[in-house]
Amino acid sequence: MTHAHAIDSREVAAWLKGAYPGGDAALFAQARLVQDELVGPEVRLRGLLEVSNYCGCDCLYCGIRRNAAVPRFDLSDADIGAAADQCVAAGFGSMTVQAGERRDQAFVERVTGIVTAIKERTRSERLPEGLGITLSVGEQSTSVYSQWRAAGAHRYLLRIETSDPDLFARLHPARQRYETRVAALRSLKATGFQLGTGVMIGIPGQSEEQLAADIIFFRDVDADMIGMGPYIPSRAAMFAPVSADGGGAPPSADVLTPDRSPRERLRLTLRMIAATRIVLGDVNIAATTALQALSATGREAGLRAGANVLMPIVTPVQARGGYQLYDGKPCVDEESAACAACTPWRAARAGRPVIRDAWGDAPHATTSAYRKGDQS
Ligand code: SAH
């Protein structure tokens, strides 16, 4: 079969360096072959709603980290309801609810309330189970994950950011531990969520070997969904003091100053998408907004390299400016309706049909055709 491929991380690292036989065009073509065979050509859509930028974490690179000097917002119930209705009307079938990370009881209950309300509001003949809901609200306890799963969310995105513990440690204050992040991923899987993870690509000092190891990590945690994007610097993050254990000074410049050009990070991200598709097969892979920050047609290029998910932003326009994880985020001035129309147009430009009115789960999560040890 086209996807049969013994996995060797040295070989993957070579692809990431541009040494795939026949070059990048051949790498992307192979990824598309695997995709057509295992997940089909259809693009799955999720409305991305950024509900709040309050955050208790202090990830050094992130524009909404705790110490970043940005105004904070929380969407109202009315805004959230309107965004859900808009997803239904646009035929998206699924929604991703993302926010900064908090662990207090009020936040936990708020998320439960949001999930419950979206589900109640969006059940219809067209969508008997309502919108599919992906949560992306960080590291939580197993019991919190269970509560949100029971409320009706069924997918969860939590990026490992990098699978290299030393690089992870450089990017986060000491109290945000790599081991805790990995434990949260395992707990999500055990709770019955479809699991999404991913990394940033082109972090200063990050090697192709580390990125190849990231793909093996995705396989080993049995991820169903992958969301990856280029690392893009944020001035709000660069100049903010680091929490307690960092002594209150801003991060040192070498931690956050890219050592690859935007072009190189874009190319590397596309190679990562293709390599992930070839190695993992039947998972969902997003062409993320950050790709479009580096190139006006970055998301289309992601689709051509093996991605099969687009996440049009449905955050109300007045809140968008508050959710800038990195500088130059696209679509910040767009009305949601514009994004709703633009996204299928991008899929069409990449020559791809879109799935409407369905959750669009990855075959990996719903069938066992391409599991570990069954790749012959
Ligand atoms: N709090 C949620 C999600 C918010 S951040 C969580 O913890 O999962 C979502 C993602 O944005 C992060 O996982 C990170 O990979 C990405 N991100 C943050 N800052 C970034 C930057 N400067 N460049 C590129 N991606 C960034």
Counting from 1 in the atom list of ligand 1, the atom nearest the Cα of 232 is 23
pLDDT-based confidence at residue 247 (cuts at 50, 70, 90):
low
Backbone dihedral angles phi then psi of residue 158, each to the nearest 5 degrees: -145, 105
Ligand 1 center to 185 CA (angstroms): 16
Residue 81: pLDDT band by 50, 70, 90 thresholds?
very high
Ligand 1 atom nearest the C-alpha of 233 is 22
The alpha carbon of 231 and the centre of ligand 1 are apart by a number of angstroms equal to 9
Tokens of 230: 């280029």
How many angstroms is it from 325 CA to the middle of ligand 1? 6
Q: Which residue has the higher pLDDT, 375 or 73?
A: 73
pLDDT band (50, 70, 90) for residue 6: low
Q: What is the DSSP string of 60-116?
A: TT-TTSTTS-----B--HHHHHHHHHHHHHHT--EEEEEE----SHHHHHHHHHHHH
Q: What is the pLDDT of residue 7?
A: 75
Q: Are 229 and 270 in contact (CB under 8 A)?
A: no
pLDDT digits (tens, 9 = 90+) for 190-208: 999 999 999 999 999 999 9
Residue 57 is predicted with a pLDDT of: 97
Averaged pLDDT for residues 210-232: 98
Q: Which residue's CA is the nearest one to ligand 1's atom 6?
A: 138
Task: Give the DSSP H or E segment for 300.
Answer: helix 298-304
Instruction: Note the pLDDT tens digit of each residue in 309-364.
Output: 999 999 999 999 999 999 999 999 999 888 888 988 999 999 999 999 999 999 99
What does each C-alpha distance from 164 to 15, 98, 200, 259 come to in angstroms?
A: 19, 25, 12, 18
| Cβ(61) – ligand 1 distance below 6 Å | yes
d(CA 309, CA 85): 20
In the Cβ-directed half-sphere of 122, how many Cα atoms lie within 13 Å?
A: 32
CA of 198 to the centre of ligand 1 (A): 10
Burial class (CB in 10 A: 0-12, 13-18, 19+), 306: buried
Q: pLDDT value at position 374?
A: 40
User: How high is the mean pLDDT of the chain?
Assistant: 94
Among residues 185, 193, 192, the alpha carbon closest in space to that of 221 is found at 185
Question: Rounded mean pLDDT of 64-79?
Answer: 97
pLDDT for 40 equals: 97
Q: Is 138 in the pocket of ligand 1 (CB under 6 A)?
A: yes
Of 122, 106, 127, 104, which Cα lies nearest the Cα of 49?
A: 122
Q: How far away, in angstroms, is 330 Cα from ligand 1 center? A: 15
**What is the token pair recorded at 314?**
């449905």
The confidence score (pLDDT) of residue 243 equals 83
In this prediction, residue 5 carries a pLDDT of 55
Residue 159's pLDDT is 98
Check if 290 has its Cβ closer than 6 Å to any atom of ligand 1. Answer: yes
| CA 93 to chain centroid | 18
Locate all alpha helices (DSSP H) within 123-164, ordered by sequence.
142-151
Bridge partner list, 194: 155
Mean pLDDT over 86-114 rounds to: 98
Q: Does the pLDDT of residue 1 top 80, yes or no?
A: no
pLDDT at 276 (0 to 100): 98
The pTM (predicted TM-score) of the whole model is 0.96
- How large a percentage of the chain has pLDDT more than 70? 95
Alpha-carbon distance 363 to 369, whole Å? 8
Q: Is the CB of 316 under 6 A from ligand 1?
A: no
Does 376 score more than 80 pLDDT?
no
Please state the length of the chain.
376
How many CB atoms within 10 Å of residue 56? 14
* Closest ligand 1 atom to Cα of 98: 3
Model confidence at 164, pLDDT cuts 50, 70, 90, reads very high
Ligand 1 atom with least separation from CA of 199? 15
Cβ–ligand 1 distance for 50 under 6 Å, the answer: no
H helices of 227-282, in order, are 235-238, 253-256, 262-280
Asked if pLDDT for residue 174 goes beyond 60, the answer is yes
Q: Residue 244 pLDDT more than 80?
A: no
By the 8 A CB rule, do 284 and 11 touch? no
Q: Are 94 and 45 in contact (CB under 8 A)?
A: yes
> Closest ligand 1 atom, CA of 101?
1
Q: Is 325 in the pocket of ligand 1 (CB under 6 A)?
A: yes
DSSP 112-132: HHHHHHHHHHH--SS-TT-SE
Model pLDDT for residues 255-279, shown as the tens digit of each residue: 999 999 999 999 999 999 999 999 9
- CA–CA dist 320, 51 (Å, integer): 10
Residue 287 scores a pLDDT above 60 = yes
Residue indicated by tokens 């992307």: 28
Confidence of residue 367 (pLDDT cuts 50, 70, 90): confident
Report pLDDT for 375.
38
Q: SS3 for 160?
A: coil
- Tell me which of 95-109, 168-182, 241-255, 325-339 is least confident: 241-255
Least confident of 51-55, 95-99, 113-117, 336-340: 336-340
Q: State whether the beta carbon of 161 lies less than 6 angstroms from ligand 1.
A: yes
For residue 98, give Cα distances in angstroms to 86, 131, 320. Answer: 17, 15, 13
pLDDT at 246: 54
* Residue located via tokens 């100049």: 239
pLDDT score at 21: 96
Closest among 70, 56, 52, 73 to 239, alpha carbons compared: 70
Work out the number of other CB atoms within 10 angstroms of the CB of residue 260.
Answer: 17
Asked whether 133 and 92 are in contact (CB, 8 A), the reply is no
